[in-house]
Structure 1
Amino acid sequence: MIIKYSDNPFKAVIGIAFYNRKSILLFTLISIVAVFQYEFGEIFDFEPATLPVVPVTILGGALAIFLGFRNNSAYDRWWEARKVWGGIVNASRTFGVMICTFSSGYFSNGKVKDKEVFEWRKELIMRHIGWLYALVMHLRKETSWDELEKFLSKKEVEKLKGFHNKPTQMLHKQGERLQEAYESEMIENFRHMELANVIKEFYDLQGKAERIKGTIFPYYYNYFTSVFLWLFITCLPFSLVTEMSWSTIPMCIAISFVFTILEKSGAVTEDPFEGRAADTPITTIARNIEIDLLEMIKSDTIPAPNEQKTGRFGVKYLD
């Protein structure tokens, strides 16, 4: 998630121009062609091509409607993604508290030792942290799962590699361990049901995240928005050149850049889990949850929070 472009305004402008250099170059060339053919048409004995302003204005209005709808829809997807991960934060903390306070050797009349209870708590907390990072990798379609060995046994990680949806199987394993704890009387019936409900909530939140990831934005909106955008950019200088002459070039560059940035911002925002600087910072969120849960079990190895990163041209963001 981008925090800000740069502390240096000059770097910010240069960075924005750099990442949009191809588009800027293209509509600059279109504007130059329109002006040159108008200014020097008589010299080369041909009729300059011009367009009336009104049709181009109507086209610009239609384009603005498409861009507005698309950007609103894209922002809704981004905001829903943030709400889903906000729900994961809250449910994870609830799960951690329940695991640490609901389990006890008390219900087994001493048959379950305190050490067994502690190891069970630690196992479920570590697997849940592994689930968080597995969900991050699942949403970003990453292929290396060896990082999970920090939270799970090597045998369990190898077994997971055979499954298509690894986070789902990890939640299934959590449910199995809850059932085993209930059968060994480490937790009683009511507490087992409450913990199972939290597992169900994780399934729901994972499904919502997968829906955002898997639902493709309607193709015709992307396609026709792009077509209308470049049709407008192409026609604009030919409609302004009769009134503005050489001033058409900077004016068309400015107007075209505004519409291009609006189109690009919608395209980037509609996919919030790709791991880009502008996306939902799910790795940072997962790390914050990891810290909270490890503190609950009084772990000796608690990682530091993810620091704000600085990218090219001074862009500040969270992963």
Structure 2
Amino acid sequence: MLIKYSDNPFKQVLGIAFYNKRNIFLFTTFSLIATLQYQFAEIFIFNPITLPVVPVTILGGALAIFLGFRNNSAYDRWWEARKIWGGIVNASRTFGVMICTFSSSYFSKGKVSDERVLTWRKELINRHIGWLYSLIKHLRKHNHWNDLEKYLSEEEIEQIKSVHNKPTQLLHKQSERLQEAYEANIIEDFRHMELANVIKEFYSLQGMAERIKGTIFPYYYNYFTGVFLWLFVICLPFSLAPEMGWGSIPMSIAISFVFTILEKSGAVTEDPFEGRAADTPISTITRNIEIDLLEMIKSETVPAPIEPKIGKFGVKYLD
């Protein structure tokens, strides 16, 4: 998630120019061609290519409608992703509290030791943290899973390598362990049902995130927005040159830049799980949940929060 650009205005301008250098070059080329051929038409005795302002203005209006729809829809996807992970935060904390307070050797009347209860708590908390990190990998389509050994056993890691949806199978394993704890009288009936409801909520939140990841933005909006955008960018300087002369060059570059930045912002925001500077910071959110849960079980190895990253040209963002 982008926090802010550099505090240095020079770095801000330089960064924006660097990441849009191709488009700026094309805008400048089109503007120079349109203006030069108009200015030197009398000298070389040929009719310059010009376009009336009204059709180009109408095209710009239609383009603005397409861009507005796309950007609103893309922001809705980004905001829904943030709400989903906010729900995962709340449900994870609830799950951790329930695991630590609902389980007890009391229900077994001495048949289950306190050490076994503590071991069970740590196992479920660790597996839940493993689920969080596996969900990130699942959404980002990572193929390496060996770095989960901190929270999952070697047997579990080998098991999930062969399944299609790894986070789903980890939740299934959690449900099995809850059932075993109920049968061993570590938790009683009502508390077992409450914990099962939290697992159900995790399934629901995971499905919502998968829906965003798996739903491709309608192709025709992307395609025709791009077609209209570049048609407008090419036509614009040929309509401004007769009206503004040499002033049409900076003006057409500026107008074209505004429209392309709007198009680019919508394209970047469409998929909020890729780990880019503009995406939902699911790695940072997961680390915060990890810290909360490990502190609940009084773990001795609690990681530090993820600090904001500094990218090129001083951009500050969270992963």
* Category of TM-score, reference length = shorter chain: over 0.9
Tell me the TM-score normalized by structure 1: 0.99
- Counterpart CA distance in 2 for 1:43 and 1:192 is 88
Question: Match for residue 139 of structure 1?
Answer: 139
User: Is 1:233 paired with 2:233?
Assistant: yes
**Deviations for 1:191-244, whole angstroms, at most 9, x for unmatched residues?**
000000000000000000000000000001000111110001000000010011
SS in 2 for 1:47: coil
Unaligned 5+ segments in structure 1 are none
Tell me what 2:196 maps to: 196
Question: Paired residue for 1:270?
Answer: 270
Shift of 1:154: 1.2
Hey, what's the Cα distance between the residues in 2 that align with 1:42 and 1:2? 51
Q: 1:9: how far off?
A: 1.3
Moved over 2 A (4+): 42-45
Residue-by-residue CA offset, 1:3-41 (whole Å, 9 max, x unaligned): 001111110111011001001101110010000111112
Paired amino acid for 1:276: R
User: What is the RMSD of the two structures over their aligned residues, measured on CA atoms?
Assistant: 0.6
Secondary structure of the 1:68 match is helix
Question: Matched residue of 1:43: which SS?
Answer: helix
Mapping for residues 101-250 of structure 1, pairs under 5 Å: 101-250=101-250
Q: Which amino acid aligns with 2:200?
A: K
Mapped pair 1:313 → 2:313: yes
3-state DSSP of counterpart to 1:3: strand
- Looking at structure 1, the residues matched to 155 and 200 of structure 2 have their Cα atoms a distance apart, in angstroms, of 25
Question: Greater CA deviation, 152-161 or 304-313?
Answer: 152-161
Partner Cα distance (1:266, 1:49) in 2: 33
Q: 1:255-282, CA deviations, whole angstroms, 9 ceiling, x for partnerless residues?
A: 0000000000000001100111110000
SS of the equivalent of 2:301 reads: coil
For the pair 1:14 / 2:14, whether they are aligned, the reply is yes
Matching residue of 1:280? 280
Q: What is the number of residues matched between the two proteins?
A: 319
Q: Cα distance, 1:155 vs. partner?
A: 1.6
Aligned to 1:256: 256
* C-alpha separation in 2, matches of 1:227 and 1:214: 25
Give 5+ residue unaligned stretches, structure 2. Answer: none
Task: Return the offset for 1:45.
Answer: 2.5
Give the 5 Å matches for 1:35-50: 35-50=35-50
Q: Deviations over 1:55-79 (max 9, x none)?
A: 0000000000000010000000000
> SS state of the match for residue 3, structure 2?
strand
Letter paired with 2:22? K
Q: C-alpha separation between the residues in 2 aligned to 1:158 and 1:28?
A: 56
TM-score by length of 2: 0.99
The whole-number CA distance in structure 1 between the counterparts of 2:88 and 2:99 is 16
